[in-house]
Amino acid sequence: QKEVEQNSGPLSVPEGAIASLNCTYSDRGSQSFFWYRQYSGKSPELIMSIYSNGDKEDGRFTAQLNKASQYVSLLIRDSQPSDSATYLCAVSALVFGTGTRLLVSP
Amino acid sequence: EPEVTQTPSHQVTQMGQEVILRCVPISNHLYFYWYRQILGQKVEFLVSFYNNEISEKSEIFDDQFSVERPDGSNFTLKIRSTKLEDSAMYFCASSEVPGLGYFGPGTRLTVL
């Protein structure tokens, strides 16, 4: 059974801080990894994809992948209250984590 | 910006009835997916569709479920005989490459 694990949170950070969201996965052969943001009552919105070990930056977001440790993370710099949402880690298109709820306080 | 659309936004049905959920993927996308999300739970993969056939399906996607691409634009999910536990949000997603899914707004299915 392929699993994706995330801390459900909530992760609380003050506005302007860096939020760090983490995810581990069980299938060592996984090749593609995605971070989605989901506001309450809305559909998931794709933020980042990452396929290779290392860091990938897009604006305030940085995804990090370590295949040896089976670990994916998402850093959000200069966090804003509008970033308050649940962040879903997905491995390929097939397995999603339960999500980490992020709360950014003004 | 192109987006995935889904109809209806909310479907209420009686247990045992058939429902068809409809999706219009982004026009140049080749990979199509259905997911469901029971309230308060994680997103669960149901099925993926590529080149007019199912490419992967989960254990949830049993004989009660079927998918079709009846024309060049629509992508449908049919549940033949709904059960109470089928109540959930159903999301369609499409992508240009495998796994990079752009989600539609979802259909909330309520089975009474």
Instruction: Read off the amino acid at residue A47.
Output: I
**Within an 8 Å CB–CB cutoff, is residue B103 touching chain A?**
yes
Interface test with B, best of A5, A43, A46 (most B CBs within 10 A): A43
Low-confidence ranges of chain B (pLDDT < 70): none
Share of chain A above pLDDT 90, in %: 93
Q: pLDDT class for A63, splitting at 50, 70, 90?
A: very high
- Residues B66-84 have pLDDT tens digits of 999 888 789 999 999 999 9
Question: Partners of A63 in the beta sheet?
Answer: A56, A74
| Chain B partners within 8 Å of A34 (Cβ) | 99-101
pLDDT of A103 above 80: yes
Closest CA to A97 of A22, A46, A10: A22
Q: With an 8 Å Cβ cutoff, are B101 and A95 in contact?
A: no
Q: With an 8 Å Cβ cutoff, are A96 and B101 in contact?
A: no
Q: With an 8 Å Cβ cutoff, are A43 and B103 in contact?
A: yes
Q: Bin A7: left if φ > 0, else alpha if -120 < ψ < 50, else beta.
A: beta
**CB–CB contacts below 8 A, A to B:** 54
Contact indicator for B35, B90 with CB cutoff of 8 Å: yes
What mean pLDDT comes out for the span A30-40?
95
Residue A23 tokens, joined: 């995810």
